[in-house]
């Protein structure tokens, strides 16, 4: 039996019966003295309960809680979720949106808007040390999905150490950018039953991940990855895969 639709108007009187988060947040942003446009959420299912503000590199996403009143906020810069927070007060959500889209750094955001909490890599991204910091996190973590022998073998390779590491499920992958979406043009390594499988991303093959090889140890797997990197494959840079595509086509 399906659940009844939430009564948003009772949680958010600002909406009335037909209003959207976009319209009420736009009004509150203007009342706070900012003149940028608040846009509807791209996903059709969130048309009433989602909104966003975009600039060249920054985005603020806002969504309504549907069980309890709260404005769920996330603040992005160059593909990185730099901070998140929830508040029950519309004007606080509008003020935080205005500050972020106006260029405030994470420290100033957290000071001016106590409900906003910086992400774990926010400071590293602001200082352009995201690659080094992410490697350090992986080398020190106790998370069960991280294969430490594989991390250390990868880190020992200068070409991989210069890339941004990330996990997709249990696979270790490497990106030429530090923001999401990441690049998917380097091989990935997946530990499988004590062995290490090296494949291309499934996007390189309509039938799924294309096998490169399988090894008994992480060092040989990493050597396969390095051997299949394009010669021009350089160090990771700030931004997203979309940014890199635009720079190539420019």
Q: Is the pLDDT of residue 2 over 60?
A: no
pTM: 0.81
Closest residue by Cα to residue 60 from 12, 21, 10, 8: 21
Taking residues 107-112, what's their average pLDDT?
A: 95
* pLDDT over threshold 60, residue 223: yes
Condensed to tens digits (0 to 9), the pLDDT of residues 164-215 reads 999 988 899 999 999 999 999 999 999 999 999 999 987 655 555 688 999 9
Give me the pLDDT at residue 8, please: 87
Other CB atoms within 10 Å distance of the CB of residue 204: 13
Residues 161/235, Cβ–Cβ less than 8 Å: no
For residue 1, pLDDT over 50 is answered with no
Q: Give the closest residue to 233 by CA, choosing from 151, 174, 171, 152.
A: 174
List the chain domain ranges.
8-119, 128-249
Which of 90-94, 150-154, 243-247 bottoms out in mean pLDDT, i.e. has the lowest?
243-247
**Is 222 or 17 the better-scoring residue by pLDDT?**
222
pLDDT of the residue at 233? 87
């Amino acid at each position: 039996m399906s659940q009844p639709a939430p009564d948003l108007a009772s949680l958010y009187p600002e909406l009335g019966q037909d209003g959207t988060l976009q319209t009420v947040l736009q009004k509150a942003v203007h009342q706070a003295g900012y003149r940028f446009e608040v846009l509807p959420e791209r996903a059709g299912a969130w048309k009433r309960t989602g909104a966003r503000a975009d600039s060249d590199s920054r985005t603020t996403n806002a969504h309504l809680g549907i069980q309890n009143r709260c404005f769920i906020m996330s603040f992005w810069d160059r593909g990185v979720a730099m901070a998140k927070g929830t508040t029950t007060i519309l004007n606080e959500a509008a003020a935080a949106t205005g500050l972020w889209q106006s260029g405030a750094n994470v420290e100033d955001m957290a000071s001016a808007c106590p409900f906003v909490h910086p992400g774990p890599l926010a400071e590293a991204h602001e200082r352009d040390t995201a690659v080094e910091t992410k490697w350090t996190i992986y080398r020190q973590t106790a998370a069960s999905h991280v294969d430490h022998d594989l991390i250390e073998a990868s880190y020992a390779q200068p070409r991989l150490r210069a890339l941004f590491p990330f996990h997709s499920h249990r696979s270790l992958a490497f990106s030429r950018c530090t923001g999401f979406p990441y690049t998917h043009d380097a091989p990935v390594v997946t530990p499988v039953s004590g062995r290490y499988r090296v494949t291309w991303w499934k996007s390189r093959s309509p039938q799924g991940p294309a096998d490169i090889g399988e090894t008994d140890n992480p060092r040989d797997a990493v050597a396969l990855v390095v051997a299949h990197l394009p010669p021009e494959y350089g160090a990771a840079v700030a931004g997203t895969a979309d940014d890199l595509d635009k720079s190539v086509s420019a």
